[in-house]
Structures are given as structure tokens and as C-alpha cells.
Amino acid sequence: MMPLAWGALSFALFFASDCAHLHRRPGKPLFLLGGLLLCAATVLLLRDANCDTAAIACGVAALLFLALLVHALFFALPKSAYTNGRPTLVERGVYALCRHPGVLWLSGFYLCLWGMCRTNDALLAFFVFTMLDVLYAAWQDVYIFPRTIAGYSAYRARVPFLLPTARSIRLCIQGRDGREI
């Protein structure tokens, strides 16, 4: 139960970080602490990982989802996405796929983690952390981003919230100059 409590607290800290940012207060330490708590919760869940072929395959898939999550959160946004300290819209790559691609990658990661561990706690973590991430993304989508990112309302009309469409998948895999790669 400790990993679930730590994971839930991490999402509360992510929420508090955004609230602080919205009120022009430093929120990065809260986000960092939330990330560390979620990592600690994950390590506790991994203590029960299996070593059979299925668990190893799930572990490889989990690493892929983790790489996609880290990319979406920390590397998919170019430096040009921040002008004068304010974020601007990015409508290519994973942010053409859906408005909150990190939710897809986080849920895939925890689903694969459950496949590695096959415990009730890991399954519950998958459901709880995914639901908290969906709620967090919905709150950002409705309350935070329209107030902090110029043009976000129009972006919401063009790009799906969480579930990619055929069009958004096509746009995601197009090159920066609009050519398909």
C-alpha cells in the first residue's frame, strides 16, 4: 500500500506545482519531489518483479514506454517552445498525436510493470496512477494551459485530448517541414 500512497501524493505535488506556476510562484521543486516520489513508489513495486520470459518481455516494453514518457515530458518540446519565459504551442511530433501523450506512455509503462510483477499492488498502481494522470491532464487541459499558453483553445479544437485519431497519427509521423518520414 505504501507505493500507492506515495504515487497518489506525487500527483498531488504535480497539481501543487502547476498551481504555484499559475500564481507566479516557484513550483519546480514540487514537481521534482513528485517525480522522485513516483520513482520511489515504482521501485517498491518492482521488488516483486518476476524473471520469466513474459516478465522480461514486459520489462522491455516498460522501458520503451518509459523512454517515450521521458521524451514527451523533457525532450519533445524544443527550446523555441519557450519565448520570454512563456510556453508556446508545439503541434508536431508527439504533441500532434494528442494533447497529453505522457498519459499514454505512463499508462503503458504501469501496465507493463504489472506484467512484470503480476501482483495486486502493481495492477492497482496501473489503475490508480493512470486515473490520477488522466484527471491531472484534464485539469491542465481545462484550467492551466488555456491560461498559460497562447492559442491553446484553438489547439484543443485541432488535436485530440488523449486518444489519437488516424489524422493525428499521420501528423505525428510527419517531418518538421510537413513531409512524411
Q: Which residues of the chain have pLDDT under 70?
A: 78-88, 175-181
Q: Amino acid identity, residue 142?
A: V
pLDDT of residue 177: 47
| pLDDT (tens digit per residue) in 87-136 | 667 777 888 889 999 999 999 999 999 999 999 999 999 999 999 999 99
What is the model's pLDDT at position 73? 87
Return the bridge partners of 83, or none.
86
Q: Global pTM?
A: 0.87
How is residue 179 written as a grid cell?
A: 513531409
Task: Give the amino acid at 44.
Answer: L
Rama region for 134: left / alpha / beta (φ>0; ψ in -120 to 50; rest):
alpha
Indicate the domain borders of the chain.
50-172
CB atoms within 10 A of CB 43: 11
Q: What are phi and psi of 162, to 5 degrees?
A: -125, -40
pLDDT value of position 88: 67
Instruction: Supply the pLDDT for residue 179.
Output: 40
Helix axis angle for 2-22 and 28-46, nearest 10°, is: 160
Please report the pLDDT score of residue 83 as a whole number: 59
